[in-house]
Structure 1
Amino acid sequence: MTQWLTGAWDHPAERAHRVVAATLRAAYAWTVRREHHDAMREVARMTGVIMEAHGPGHGPVTPIDLVGCLRRPLGLLPALATGSDETIRQVVLLDGEDRLTPDAYDLACEYALPIGGPSDLAPWMPTWTWMRADQIRGETFIRLIETNNQTGYVASRRFLIEHPAATVSELRERVSETGVSLPRRGYTAIPADHLHHSAGGESWWWPCAVCLWPMAVAGTTVRCRYRPHAAVYQVAEGRTATSRPSLHRIDEGRSRHAKPVARPAADSCCVEFGVWRFVVVPGASELRVMRSLEELGATVELWPERDRYDLHVRAGEMEFRVDLKEYRSVHRLLADLRARPPAARVLLPKTHEHQLETLRTALPSLHVTTETKFGTEVRRAMRTE
């Protein structure tokens, strides 16, 4: 009876993946149970998925049992206790106030999986809770590919990365000027928990200094939901109730980026979370790497053959093909690389260079480098010329 769920062959690693995906969906549904009457039904459905994965007598057996598990590290679930991703085992999905934790947005979403059933099509369930990253990317790019040649595809994809949030009027003007195509899902309202409300009734949002998507607002703390975009800020209200609020950085890191300026929420919109997380975030790194290589004198082509790989680099008489991989979970990266071998050398951005040795050990035949090492290689090629 569970053939639709498990398939003909069910490896323990796939069961663990399914458990993480189901707990993520259940955690999100729990946070919106008062707004959506189907939310508790989703928690119950995900309890069944997790019970099936664990087998009789193991794991939570009621929705309330499952919710209790979501407030504790996922590694306490039997399916994740051993042999799975150590990083994901430490993740807690619900905080003390039953809100999704930063790790739920930042890390667990890489485990999202279409488990099947009506909730996969329910408009209240966001795509990042039930669609794989490659499905979100594919759905985003298919319209860009269908309506554009290579030049138009690159322009449209780059537009999405460089303008993930703006006012409706700004977007209309820029689309009219450039002629780019937008993805089928387009833009949506800025999420409520990414807005700051001043005493005078005005609402504001701040673009992340790295990816330009609206940062999350928790009380008076503001930060990007993607942890490697590490800056953390404190809100300082303006001189009057209707004045523009400002930010003061409170973490200890350094940044070459200017401090974000508050923008009015009225008429503003942004790409949905899944498109931001799996298209805009890696895309921002791809554009940054491209610019750094061009500063060395190299010529860089973006997403050749409509994204067969990410960057085609010409440096002197040398040519390089690289595919940037930006995963928070190295476990998920390894799984995806095994399932879909890359068409070019894998490049880890600076924020993920610590994953190099793990990749080399697990996949010794994989051709992999880091942004730092690749920059040195391109610099040497230019010097040789």
Structure 2
Amino acid sequence: MTEWLVGARDASAERAHRVVAAALRAAYAWTVRRQRRDAMREVARMTGVVMEAHGPGSGPTTPHDLVACLRQPLGLLPVLAGGSDDDIARLVLLDGDDRLTPDAYDLACEYALPVGGAPDSTQWMPTWTRMRAEQIRSDTFVALVEVNGQRGYVSSRQFLIEHPAGSHAELSERISETGVRPPRRGYTEIPADHLYHASDGQRWWWPCAVCRWPMAVTRTTVRCRYRPHAAVYQVPRGRSAGSRPTVKRIDEGRPRLATPVARPADGCLCVEFGIWRFLVVPGASELRVKRSLEALGAAVELWPERDSYDLRVLAGGTEFRVDLKEYRSVHRLIADLRAKPPSVRILLPKTHEHQRGTLEAALPALRVTTETKFCTEVRRALKAA
């Protein structure tokens, strides 16, 4: 009877995917239940999806049962127990204060997909909780190409990556100078949980040193929502009223990064979360790789042939074509590559080079390289030329 919600029954991996996607939507809806009168209806709908995936007599059977599961590792759910994705098994979506955990933003969003038909919640639920990453990228591509064409698409997409946040005046001035045409409603207000509220009532935000999007603020802890961007900062006590707040890095990780400077929040905007997570985050790596290859002497073209792949590299008389893939979950990456086999080599950025062995073991026919190896390959081609 519930097949209309999710389509025909399928493999266990797809049932697990639906459960993670439904759990993410239910978790988000639970966090806004006091602001959205229909939020509990969404939790109930997602409970139905989870029940269908488990089958009779297994898994949570009421919305409150499901919410209780969201406060525990998802691997305790029968349909996810014993799976090969340890990161998902350890994933907890709601913290002790019933807020979304960092892993919900960082990892679970890669499992988002449309489940449960087309309810009214699509009007208020963020795209990253209900849409596949590929769909968000595709919609942005269509929006940019329609008004810009291929050449304008490249410059407009690069603009979004390089300027994912800023003051309205600053963004307007740069758009006017460059002639780019971002998608309509491409920028929105900075989310409330990415703002620091000072004791004197002023609001501030800090751009991530890697992707430049506003970092999340939890009390006095500041960090990018995307874990591979690493740095964690603390706001020291004792700031004098009216002064600009500062942050001090408290993790021991690498690489060394410039300390971000606080910016006043009034009049500032940022791209919405879905565009940031699935265009800006990998785009920051794509532009970094492009700059590295150009520094070696190669010519690099971004997103050629209507974004069929990411980088065309000319090194002497040799041409390379690669598609950069930056997934937190290697299991989601494997599933997506199986569903849509690539026509060019897969390039893993430095932060994800450890995924190469798993990828090659799961997809032996896949052509995979890493940023480190690819730069060496290009360097040799240039030297040979």
- What is the TM-score normalised by the length of structure 2? 0.97
Structure 1 partner of 2:55: 55
Q: Is the 8 A contact 2:213 2:270 kept in 1?
A: yes
> Any residues of structure 2 matched to 1:105-254 within 5 Å, and which?
105-119=105-119, 121-236=121-236, 239-254=239-254
Residues 9 and 52 (structure 1), Cα distance of their counterparts in 2 relative to 1, 3 Å cut: closer
Distance 1:80 1:184 in 2: 39
Q: Is the 8 A contact 2:6 2:115 kept in 1?
A: no
Q: How far apart are residue 172 of structure 1 and its match?
A: 1.0
Q: Which amino acid aligns with 1:90?
A: R
Runs of at least 5 residues in structure 2 that lack an aligned partner in the other structure? none
Structure 1 partner of 2:3: 3
Q: How far apart are residue 143 of structure 1 and its match?
A: 1.3
Q: How far apart are residue 83 of structure 1 and its match?
A: 3.2
Q: How far apart are residue 33 of structure 1 and its match?
A: 0.6
Runs of at least 5 residues in structure 1 that lack an aligned partner in the other structure? none
* SS of aligned partner of 1:79: coil
Q: How far apart are residue 321 of structure 1 and its match?
A: 0.1
Q: How far apart are residue 238 of structure 1 and its match?
A: 7.0
- In the comparison of the two structures, how many residue pairs are matched? 385
* SS of aligned partner of 2:233: strand
Per-residue CA deviation, residues 274-330 of structure 1 (Å, 9 max, x unaligned), is 110001000000000000111111110000012100000011111100000000000
* SS of aligned partner of 1:37: coil
Structure 1 partner of 2:280: 280
Q: Is the 8 A contact 1:237 1:246 kept in 2?
A: no
Q: How far apart are residue 239 of structure 1 and its match?
A: 4.4
- What is the TM-score normalised by the length of structure 1? 0.97
Distance 2:112 2:212 in 1: 24
Structure 1 partner of 2:317: 317
Q: Is the 8 A contact 2:15 2:53 kept in 1?
A: yes
Q: How far apart are residue 237 of structure 1 and its match?
A: 5.4
> Any residues of structure 2 matched to 1:249-264 within 5 Å, and which?
249-264=249-264
Q: Which amino acid aligns with 1:157?
A: R
* SS of aligned partner of 2:105: helix
Q: Comparing 179-188 with 106-115, which one deviates more in the overlay?
A: 179-188
Q: Comparing 252-261 with 105-114, which one deviates more in the overlay?
A: 252-261
Q: How far apart are residue 9 of structure 1 and its match?
A: 4.6
Q: How far apart are residue 174 of structure 1 and its match?
A: 1.1
Q: How far apart are residue 146 of structure 1 and its match?
A: 1.1
Structure 2 partner of 1:345: 345
* SS of aligned partner of 1:287: helix
Per-residue CA deviation, residues 211-235 of structure 1 (Å, 9 max, x unaligned), is 0000000010000000000000011
Q: Percentage identity across aligned positions?
A: 74
Q: How far apart are residue 178 of structure 1 and its match?
A: 1.2
* SS of aligned partner of 2:328: coil
Q: How far apart are residue 147 of structure 1 and its match?
A: 1.5
Structure 2 partner of 1:66: 66
* SS of aligned partner of 1:321: strand
* SS of aligned partner of 2:98: coil
Q: Which amino acid aligns with 2:124?
A: W
Distance 2:22 2:97 in 1: 21
Q: How far apart are residue 148 of structure 1 and its match?
A: 1.8
